[in-house]
Amino acid sequence: MMKFCPNCGSLMTSRETPRGTIFVCRGCEMEILRTEDIETIIKLPLYDPKKVPEFHSEDLWINGKRVPYYFLGYYLPQNKTQQDEFSKSVLDFKKGYLNVISKFAEDVVNLIRFKKLKPDIIIPIPSSKKGEISLGHKLLVDYVSNELKIKNGTRILQRWYSVQKSHLASPNKRPIERDHYLSITCKQRLENMKVVLFDDILTTGDTARACVRIIFECGASKVYLITLARTKLVR
Ligand SMILES: [Zn+2]
Protein backbone atom coordinates (compact mmCIF):
# COMPACT_ATOMS: atom_id res chain seq x y z
CA MET A 1 0.00 0.00 0.00
CA MET A 2 1.49 3.36 -1.07
CA LYS A 3 1.33 6.44 1.09
CA PHE A 4 3.29 9.67 1.20
CA CYS A 5 4.25 11.17 4.53
CA PRO A 6 1.97 14.06 5.54
CA ASN A 7 4.89 15.65 7.42
CA CYS A 8 7.82 15.50 4.98
CA GLY A 9 6.41 14.06 1.75
CA SER A 10 8.70 10.99 1.60
CA LEU A 11 7.40 7.57 0.65
CA MET A 12 6.14 5.50 3.58
CA THR A 13 6.60 1.74 3.85
CA SER A 14 3.70 -0.27 5.25
CA ARG A 15 3.22 -3.49 7.14
CA GLU A 16 0.12 -5.31 8.29
CA THR A 17 -0.28 -5.96 12.02
CA PRO A 18 -3.17 -7.32 14.12
CA ARG A 19 -3.92 -3.69 15.12
CA GLY A 20 -4.08 -2.47 11.52
CA THR A 21 -1.66 -1.14 8.90
CA ILE A 22 1.44 0.64 10.19
CA PHE A 23 3.08 3.18 7.87
CA VAL A 24 6.70 4.20 8.54
CA CYS A 25 8.21 7.26 6.86
CA ARG A 26 11.61 6.74 5.25
CA GLY A 27 12.42 10.41 5.74
CA CYS A 28 11.29 11.75 9.12
CA GLU A 29 10.57 8.29 10.65
CA MET A 30 7.03 9.26 11.65
CA GLU A 31 4.74 6.24 12.15
CA ILE A 32 1.01 6.16 11.47
CA LEU A 33 -1.41 3.38 12.40
CA ARG A 34 -4.45 2.95 10.15
CA THR A 35 -7.41 1.00 11.54
CA GLU A 36 -10.60 0.87 9.43
CA ASP A 37 -10.56 4.53 8.40
CA ILE A 38 -8.96 6.15 11.43
CA GLU A 39 -5.31 7.21 11.25
CA THR A 40 -3.31 7.78 14.43
CA ILE A 41 0.26 9.03 14.74
CA ILE A 42 2.06 6.44 16.87
CA LYS A 43 5.58 7.88 16.55
CA LEU A 44 6.31 11.59 16.19
CA PRO A 45 8.47 12.76 13.28
CA LEU A 46 12.16 13.45 13.91
CA TYR A 47 11.95 16.90 12.37
CA ASP A 48 9.65 19.53 10.95
CA PRO A 49 10.69 20.10 7.31
CA LYS A 50 9.69 23.78 7.51
CA LYS A 51 12.32 24.34 10.21
CA VAL A 52 15.28 22.63 8.53
CA PRO A 53 17.83 25.35 7.65
CA GLU A 54 19.69 25.60 4.37
CA PHE A 55 23.07 23.94 4.74
CA HIS A 56 26.11 22.66 2.86
CA SER A 57 27.91 19.39 3.50
CA GLU A 58 31.14 17.67 2.63
CA ASP A 59 33.33 14.88 3.97
CA LEU A 60 36.63 15.53 5.70
CA TRP A 61 39.13 12.70 6.11
CA ILE A 62 41.02 12.80 9.39
CA ASN A 63 43.19 9.95 10.72
CA GLY A 64 41.82 7.83 7.87
CA LYS A 65 38.26 8.30 9.15
CA ARG A 66 35.37 9.99 7.39
CA VAL A 67 34.16 13.05 9.28
CA PRO A 68 30.93 14.49 7.84
CA TYR A 69 31.05 18.29 7.92
CA TYR A 70 27.98 20.56 7.81
CA PHE A 71 27.79 24.35 7.70
CA LEU A 72 24.95 26.81 7.20
CA GLY A 73 26.58 29.31 4.84
CA TYR A 74 29.70 31.11 3.66
CA TYR A 75 31.37 33.85 5.68
CA LEU A 76 32.69 36.85 3.78
CA PRO A 77 35.48 38.47 5.83
CA GLN A 78 35.06 42.12 6.86
CA ASN A 79 36.84 44.83 4.86
CA LYS A 80 37.65 42.54 1.95
CA THR A 81 34.19 42.79 0.49
CA GLN A 82 30.68 44.01 1.23
CA GLN A 83 29.36 41.72 3.95
CA ASP A 84 26.05 40.00 3.34
CA GLU A 85 23.32 39.50 5.96
CA PHE A 86 24.45 35.98 6.80
CA SER A 87 28.05 37.05 7.47
CA LYS A 88 26.80 39.93 9.62
CA SER A 89 24.68 37.55 11.68
CA VAL A 90 27.72 35.30 12.23
CA LEU A 91 29.61 38.32 13.56
CA ASP A 92 26.63 39.12 15.81
CA PHE A 93 26.88 35.56 17.14
CA LYS A 94 30.53 36.24 17.95
CA LYS A 95 29.54 39.49 19.69
CA GLY A 96 27.13 37.51 21.90
CA TYR A 97 23.76 38.85 20.63
CA LEU A 98 21.21 36.60 22.30
CA ASN A 99 18.53 36.61 19.58
CA VAL A 100 21.11 35.58 16.98
CA ILE A 101 22.53 32.87 19.25
CA SER A 102 19.04 31.36 19.78
CA LYS A 103 18.25 31.43 16.06
CA PHE A 104 21.48 29.58 15.21
CA ALA A 105 20.95 27.16 18.12
CA GLU A 106 17.54 26.18 16.68
CA ASP A 107 19.08 25.78 13.23
CA VAL A 108 21.75 23.42 14.60
CA VAL A 109 19.10 21.33 16.44
CA ASN A 110 16.99 21.03 13.29
CA LEU A 111 20.01 20.18 11.14
CA ILE A 112 21.07 17.40 13.55
CA ARG A 113 17.50 16.02 13.57
CA PHE A 114 17.14 16.21 9.79
CA LYS A 115 20.45 14.41 9.18
CA LYS A 116 19.51 11.82 11.87
CA LEU A 117 22.96 12.14 13.42
CA LYS A 118 21.69 10.99 16.83
CA PRO A 119 24.83 12.10 18.71
CA ASP A 120 25.54 11.27 22.37
CA ILE A 121 27.25 14.58 23.12
CA ILE A 122 27.95 18.04 21.67
CA ILE A 123 31.36 19.59 22.33
CA PRO A 124 32.33 23.20 21.53
CA ILE A 125 35.77 23.98 20.10
CA PRO A 126 37.64 26.10 22.68
CA SER A 127 38.72 29.64 21.78
CA SER A 128 42.36 30.46 21.07
CA LYS A 129 42.75 32.06 24.49
CA LYS A 130 43.65 29.85 27.46
CA GLY A 131 40.64 28.49 29.36
CA GLU A 132 38.08 30.54 27.43
CA ILE A 133 34.81 29.68 25.78
CA SER A 134 32.64 32.32 24.10
CA LEU A 135 29.11 33.13 25.27
CA GLY A 136 27.70 32.04 21.91
CA HIS A 137 29.42 28.64 22.06
CA LYS A 138 28.28 28.08 25.64
CA LEU A 139 24.62 29.06 25.12
CA LEU A 140 24.30 27.22 21.81
CA VAL A 141 25.72 24.00 23.26
CA ASP A 142 23.44 24.35 26.35
CA TYR A 143 20.39 24.73 24.10
CA VAL A 144 21.26 21.87 21.74
CA SER A 145 22.04 19.42 24.55
CA ASN A 146 18.75 20.28 26.32
CA GLU A 147 16.62 20.03 23.18
CA LEU A 148 18.14 16.74 21.99
CA LYS A 149 18.56 15.34 25.52
CA ILE A 150 22.24 14.57 24.96
CA LYS A 151 25.33 15.24 27.08
CA ASN A 152 26.66 18.79 27.33
CA GLY A 153 30.35 18.70 26.42
CA THR A 154 31.23 22.27 27.42
CA ARG A 155 34.75 22.26 28.95
CA ILE A 156 35.57 18.74 27.75
CA LEU A 157 38.05 20.26 25.32
CA GLN A 158 40.22 22.84 27.05
CA ARG A 159 42.96 25.14 25.83
CA TRP A 160 45.68 25.05 28.47
CA TYR A 161 47.83 27.75 26.87
CA SER A 162 46.86 30.52 24.45
CA VAL A 163 47.71 30.52 20.76
CA GLN A 164 47.51 33.43 18.30
CA LYS A 165 44.12 34.12 16.79
CA SER A 166 44.40 32.83 13.22
CA HIS A 167 42.76 35.78 11.50
CA LEU A 168 44.90 38.34 13.39
CA ALA A 169 48.28 36.63 12.99
CA SER A 170 50.48 37.13 9.96
CA PRO A 171 50.56 33.99 7.78
CA ASN A 172 53.97 32.79 9.04
CA LYS A 173 52.93 33.20 12.70
CA ARG A 174 49.49 31.69 12.26
CA PRO A 175 49.11 28.61 14.46
CA ILE A 176 49.04 25.35 12.53
CA GLU A 177 47.27 22.10 13.33
CA ARG A 178 50.14 20.91 15.52
CA ASP A 179 50.00 24.07 17.69
CA HIS A 180 46.29 23.49 18.30
CA TYR A 181 46.82 19.80 18.92
CA LEU A 182 49.45 20.49 21.58
CA SER A 183 47.55 23.30 23.31
CA ILE A 184 44.18 21.52 23.64
CA THR A 185 43.44 18.68 26.04
CA CYS A 186 40.46 16.39 26.42
CA LYS A 187 39.21 16.22 30.01
CA GLN A 188 37.17 13.05 29.75
CA ARG A 189 37.11 9.67 27.97
CA LEU A 190 34.50 9.52 25.18
CA GLU A 191 34.42 5.73 24.77
CA ASN A 192 32.25 4.70 21.77
CA MET A 193 30.47 8.05 21.74
CA LYS A 194 29.03 9.78 18.69
CA VAL A 195 30.22 13.36 18.98
CA VAL A 196 29.05 16.60 17.39
CA LEU A 197 31.93 19.08 17.42
CA PHE A 198 30.77 22.69 17.12
CA ASP A 199 32.46 25.94 16.09
CA ASP A 200 31.21 29.26 14.70
CA ILE A 201 33.54 29.74 11.71
CA LEU A 202 35.88 27.35 9.92
CA THR A 203 38.70 29.11 8.08
CA THR A 204 41.80 26.95 7.58
CA GLY A 205 40.22 24.02 9.43
CA ASP A 206 43.42 23.46 11.45
CA THR A 207 41.71 23.91 14.84
CA ALA A 208 38.84 21.62 13.90
CA ARG A 209 41.20 18.93 12.56
CA ALA A 210 43.26 19.01 15.75
CA CYS A 211 40.09 18.70 17.87
CA VAL A 212 38.76 15.80 15.78
CA ARG A 213 42.07 13.92 16.27
CA ILE A 214 41.97 14.54 20.02
CA ILE A 215 38.36 13.35 20.25
CA PHE A 216 39.12 10.14 18.35
CA GLU A 217 42.10 9.56 20.66
CA CYS A 218 39.70 9.92 23.61
CA GLY A 219 37.74 6.93 22.30
CA ALA A 220 34.90 8.47 20.24
CA SER A 221 33.51 6.16 17.56
CA LYS A 222 32.14 8.90 15.28
CA VAL A 223 32.67 12.64 14.93
CA TYR A 224 30.46 15.10 13.05
CA LEU A 225 31.70 18.65 12.57
CA ILE A 226 29.16 21.48 12.46
CA THR A 227 30.03 25.16 12.02
CA LEU A 228 27.75 28.11 11.38
CA ALA A 229 29.94 29.35 8.56
CA ARG A 230 32.89 28.56 6.39
CA THR A 231 35.14 31.41 5.29
CA LYS A 232 34.87 32.18 1.63
CA LEU A 233 38.29 33.10 0.30
CA VAL A 234 38.16 36.29 -1.73
CA ARG A 235 41.05 37.10 -4.03
ZN1 LIG B 1 8.14 11.92 6.86
Measure 148 CA to ligand 1 centroid, in angstroms.
Answer: 19
Domain assignment of residue 7, given as a range: 3-43
Measure 32 CA to ligand 1 centroid, in angstroms.
Answer: 10
* DSSP state letters, the chain: --EE-TTT--EEEEEEETTEEEEEETTT--EEEEETTEEEEEE--S--GGGPPP-EEEEEEETTEEEEEEEEEEEPPTTTS---HHHHHHHHHHHT-HHHHHHHHHHHHHHHHHTT---SEEEEPPPSSTT---HHHHHHHHHHHHHHT-EE-TTTEEESS----TTTS-TTTS--HHHHHHHEEE-S--TT-EEEEEEEEESSSHHHHHHHHHHHHTT-SEEEEEEEEEEPP--
pLDDT digits (tens), the chain, 235 positions: 789 999 999 999 999 999 999 999 999 999 999 998 899 999 999 999 999 999 999 999 998 999 999 999 999 987 766 789 999 999 999 999 999 999 999 999 999 999 999 999 999 999 888 888 899 999 999 999 999 999 999 999 999 888 887 666 677 778 888 888 888 999 999 999 999 999 999 988 999 999 999 999 999 999 999 999 999 876 5
Same domain, 123 and 193: yes
Q: What is the pLDDT of residue 174?
A: 80
Measure 35 CA to ligand 1 centroid, in angstroms.
Answer: 20
Same domain, 96 and 171: yes
Same domain, 58 and 163: yes
Measure 114 CA to ligand 1 centroid, in angstroms.
Answer: 10
Measure 230 CA to ligand 1 centroid, in angstroms.
Answer: 30
Same domain, 189 and 90: yes
Q: What is the pLDDT of residue 178?
A: 87
Measure 142 CA to ligand 1 centroid, in angstroms.
Answer: 28
Same domain, 207 and 175: yes
Give this complex's ipTM: 0.99
Same domain, 204 and 101: yes
Same domain, 37 and 71: no
Same domain, 17 and 60: no
Measure 31 CA to ligand 1 centroid, in angstroms.
Answer: 8
Measure 116 CA to ligand 1 centroid, in angstroms.
Answer: 12
Same domain, 15 and 57: no
Same domain, 39 and 63: no
Measure 3 CA to ligand 1 centroid, in angstroms.
Answer: 10
Q: Which residues are in the CB-under-5-Å shell of ion ligand 1?
A: 5, 7-8, 10, 25, 27-28, 30
Measure 50 CA to ligand 1 centroid, in angstroms.
Answer: 12
Same domain, 99 and 164: yes
Same domain, 194 and 81: yes
CATH, residue 96: 3.40.50.2020
- How many domains is the chain built from? 2
